[in-house]
Chains A and B, each alone.
Chain A
Amino acid sequence: MSVPLYHVLVLAAVMFAMGLACVVAWRANVIMMLIGIEIMLNAVMLVFVGGSAHWGIADGQLFALMLMALTSAEVSLALAMVVYLHRRKHSVNTDHFDSMRG
C-alpha cells in the first residue's frame, strides 16, 4: 500500500507551519529559531520524498539526501556562530544584535 501524495503534503504543511510557529514564537532565542528552521527544512524534504514516491522518479530522494548533507553543514556553522555571538554579548536574543539597523 502507498500513502497518497495528498496526505504527505498535508503532513508537510503542518510540519512547516509548526516550524514557522516555533521560529516566530521563540524569536528571543536563537537556538530555538535554529530548531524551528530544521523542522521547516524537514517538511520540505518530506515533500521531495513524497513527490519522488508518487511519480516514481529518484530525483526527489537524491535531493533529500543533498538537503541532509546541507543542513548538517549549516547547523554546524550556525552553532559555531551561536557560540561566538554568546561570547560577544552574553546573550542569544537576536534582537540584541541589531547593528545592521539602517
Chain B
Amino acid sequence: MQTYLSLMLLFPLVGGLASALLGRKLPRVLVEGIACAAVWGSFACAALAAAAYAAPETVTVAGWFASFDLDIPISLYLDPLSLSLAVMIGFVCGLIHIYAVFYMRSEEDYPRFFALLNIFVFAMLTLVLAESLPLLYLGWEGVGFCSYLLIGFWYTDKNNADAGRKAFITTRIGDTALMVALAWLFQLFGTLSVSKLNGMGFLMPGSIITALGILFLVAAMGKSAQVPLMVWLPDAMAGPTPVSAMIHAATMVTAGVYLLARMFPLIGGSATVLSAIAVTGGVTAFYGATCALAQRDLKRVLAFSTISQIGYMMLGVGAGAVTAATFHLLVHAFFKALLFLGAGCVITAMHHEQDIFKMGGLRRSLPLTFWNFLAGAACLAGLPLTGGFFSKDSILMAVWHKGGALYQFLYLLALATALITAYYAFRMVYLVFGGPGGDGHLQSGSELKVMQLVLIPLALLGLFGGLFNLPAYIGEGYLNRLFAGVAGGAPGGGSHLEEIVMQAIAGALALAGLLAAYLRYGKGRAQRLEEAGSQPSLLGSFLAHGWYFDNLYNLILIRPYRALAAVLWQRLDEGVIDDSLDRLAHALGRTGSWLGRWSTGRVSIYLISFAAGGGVILGYLAWLAL
C-alpha cells in the first residue's frame, strides 16, 4: 500500500519536474508523453490501491517536522473519501492531459504548460491523501499556486494575468482562515493529525468547535468559490480550456468540499456550523444557477454552473450527508470535465468564438461533440436516470430528511435551483447546437477528432454514474456501503416510497426546465437571437454581471483600498518618510559644506594651528602644575 500511495504522488511530481527542467531539451512528443504517462501511472497506482483496499489505513512515508511537541510526519491516509477522490482525480486528469496534448498543439510554451498541469495533479493528490493538516495545507496552497499560474498562462495579455491574480488573492482570504484554524487546532489539541483530531472533537466546548467550523467554512468558501468569495471563478476562464476543465472538475474547486467532508467528524458536532455550511451551499447554488441564465460566453455559463453545483455539494455536507456530497462530487467531476472539454471542441471548431448567440447548428457539423455534450448537459440538468439525477437527488433527500424550517426552505431553494439548472443547461445546448447553419467554415483536423474521442468515456461515466450509488429501492449503493464506516456517511432514513416521490418531483422539475428551454430557445430561437442584439433588460444584465458582486466589491473593498494606498503612498511614504529623510540629508550636507570652509587646504595653516594647539595644551598643563 505504501508503494502505491507514494508512487501515486511521485509520478506527477517527477513528470512535472522533468517537463520543467528538461522540457526544452526533449522533443515535443516525449514531453507530452511524459506528462500523460505520469498522470496515468498515478491513476494506475490509485486503481491498484483501490483493489488492495480493505480498511482505512495510515501510511507514514517519511519524517518531516519533529521538534518539542510538534511532530508532523509525511503520512498519507487512505479511507473511502480519499480513495474515491484519488481514483477520480487520476482518471479525469488523465483524460484531460490527453485532450490537452491535442488542444495545445499550436502552443509554443508547452513544457511550462505540462509541467504546471502535472504539478497541479500532484498538489491535489497531496491535498486529498494528506493525513496531517500541514501536509493538506501544502497541497491546498499548491493547487492555488498552480491555478494562479495556469489561469494566467497566456500572461502577455493583461486580462489573463489579472484573472490569475484575482483567483489567487480571493482564495488567499480563505487560506488565511485555514491557517488560523490550523494554528488554533494545534494550540487546543497539540496535534495536527486529521484522524486524531477527528476523534477529539468532544473534548472541546461547542462554541470553540463552532468557531473552528466557521474558519474551515471560510477556507472552503475561498477554494470552492462559494458566496461571498465566488467572484474569481468566472474570471478563471481566462486560462486554456483544459485548465478550466481541471480546475472545475477534478482539482481546485472540489478541495473546499473535500476539506469540510474530511473534517466533518470534528466540525459536524456543531449544528450552527452545519446550518452555516448548508446556507452557504444553498445560496451559492441558487446564485450560480441564476447567473448562468444570462451569460453569453459559453465558458462563463459553465463556470457559473460549477459554482452552483459546488453549492449543492456544500448543501449536502451541511445536511450531514458526506456520502451524497462525495457522490455528487464524483459525478460532477465527470460531467463537468465532459462539458468543458466539449466546449473546448466547440471553441476550437468555431475559431475561438465563445459567444453562444453566434453559434448554432453545430449538431450537424460536430455530431460527436453534440451527443457527448448533450449527455453532459443532461447530467447537469439532472434529467432522470442520468448520474447527475441520482447524485443531486441524494443531496435533496438528505436536506429534506434533516428537517426543520431552515432545511425545508433550503430544500425548496435547491428544487428551484434544479429547475433553473435544467433550463440554462438546455438553453446552452439549444443555442450552440440547435438552429440552422453550422455547415460553414469550421476548423477541422485530426486534433479535433482525438479531442472528441476523449469525451466518450466521460460521457459514459456521467450518464451511468448513478450506478455508483443506486437508491435503496433498486439496490444497495456502492458508495453507501463503502462510506458506511465514515462519520456522516450513513445513508439518510426515509421509506422507499418517499424517495421515489422525491425523485419524481426532481425529475419532473428537470423535465419542466428542459421543456421551458425548448419553448424559449428551441422554438423561439430566432426571436431570442434578435433580442440578444438589443440592449439587455435590467434583470438580464443584473444576472449577466453576477448580481454585480464585482462592482460591489469594487465599491466597498477595492476603491477604499486604493484610496488608502494612495494616501499612504503620497502622503505618508513620499510626504512624511521620504520627505523627512530628504530634508535631514540635505541639512547634513549643508552643515558639512559649511564646516568644510574651515579646511583651507594649506598645510602651513594646519601646522601653525597644530603648534598653537600644542602650545595651549602645554600652557594649561603648566598652569595646572604651578
Contacts and interface: CB of A to CB of B under 8 A. Distances in A.
Nearest to B608: A24
B600 A94 contact: no
B601 A99 contact: yes
Contact of B596 (A20, A98, A102): A102
B274 to A, nearest CB: 80
A40 to B, nearest CB: 11
A99 B601 CA distance: 6
Interface string B566-609: 00000000000000000000000000010111111111100110
Contacts of B593: 102
A98 B611 contact: no
Q: Which of A24, A94, A102 has the most CB of B within 10 A?
A: A102
A100 B599 contact: yes
A94 B602 contact: yes
A6 interface: no
B603 A95 contact: yes
A33 B595 CA distance: 28
Interface of B is mostly: helix
A35 B626 CA distance: 34
Contacts of A44: none
Contacts of B595: 102
Contacts, number: 40
B601 A24 contact: no
A95 B599 CA distance: 13
A39 interface: no
A78 interface: no
A23 B607 contact: yes
A31 interface: no
A24 B613 CA distance: 13
13 contacts: A24-B608, A24-B611, A28-B604, A33-B603, A33-B607, A94-B604, A98-B601, A100-B599, A101-B600, A102-B593, A102-B596, A102-B598, A102-B601
Interface in A5-47: 20, 23-24, 27-28, 33
Contacts of A95: 602-604
A20 B595 CA distance: 28
Contacts of A84: none
A87 B274 CA distance: 95
Contacts of A63: none
Interface in A51-102: 94-95, 97-102
Interface residues of A, number: 14
B169 to A, nearest CB: 55
Contacts of A24: 607-608, 611
B118 to A, nearest CB: 67
A97 B607 CA distance: 14
Contact of A94 (B596, B598, B603, B614): B603
A35 to B, nearest CB: 14
Interface of A: 20, 23-24, 27-28, 33, 94-95, 97-102
Contacts of A20: 611, 614
Given A20-B611, A24-B608, A24-B611, A102 B599 contact: yes
Nearest to B603: A94
Contact of A27 (B597, B600, B601, B603): B603
Which are the 7 A-B pairs with shortest beta-carbon distances?
A102-B596, A101-B601, A98-B601, A27-B604, A94-B603, A102-B599, A100-B601
A98 B604 CA distance: 10
Given A33-B607, A94-B603, A95-B604, 14 more contacts: A20-B611, A20-B614, A23-B607, A24-B608, A94-B604, A95-B602, A95-B603, A98-B601, A100-B599, A101-B601, A102-B595, A102-B597, A102-B598, A102-B601
Contacts of A101: 599-602
A68 B607 CA distance: 23
Nearest to B595: A102
A24 B612 CA distance: 11
Q: Which of B595, B599, B604, B608 has the most CB of A within 10 A?
A: B604
A5 to B, nearest CB: 17
A33 B607 CA distance: 10
Nearest to A21: B611
A18 B275 CA distance: 103
Contacts of B611: 20, 23-24
Contacts of B614: 20
A71 B23 CA distance: 70
B63 to A, nearest CB: 63
A95 B606 CA distance: 11
A8 to B, nearest CB: 18
A97 B600 contact: no
A54 B597 CA distance: 47
Nearest to B597: A102
Nearest to A20: B611
A28 B600 CA distance: 16
Nearest to A23: B607
A23 B595 CA distance: 27
Nearest to A36: B607
Interface string B312-347: 000000000000000000000000000000000000
Contacts of A97: 601, 603
Contacts of A23: 607, 611
Interface string B435-463: 00000000000000000000000000000
Q: Which of B595, B611, B614 has the most CB of A within 10 A?
A: B611
Nearest to B596: A102
Contacts of A33: 603, 607
A27 B607 contact: yes
A3 to B, nearest CB: 23
Q: Which of B600, B601, B608, B614 has the most CB of A within 10 A?
A: B601
A100 B602 CA distance: 8
Contacts of A98: 600-602
A101 to B, nearest CB: 3
A42 to B, nearest CB: 17
A65 B523 CA distance: 117
B39 to A, nearest CB: 74
A27 B608 CA distance: 9
A38 to B, nearest CB: 15
Nearest to B598: A102
A33 B602 CA distance: 14
A95 B604 CA distance: 7
A14 to B, nearest CB: 14
A24 B609 CA distance: 10
Contacts of A27: 603-604, 607-608
Contacts of B604: 27-28, 94-95
A66 B327 CA distance: 94
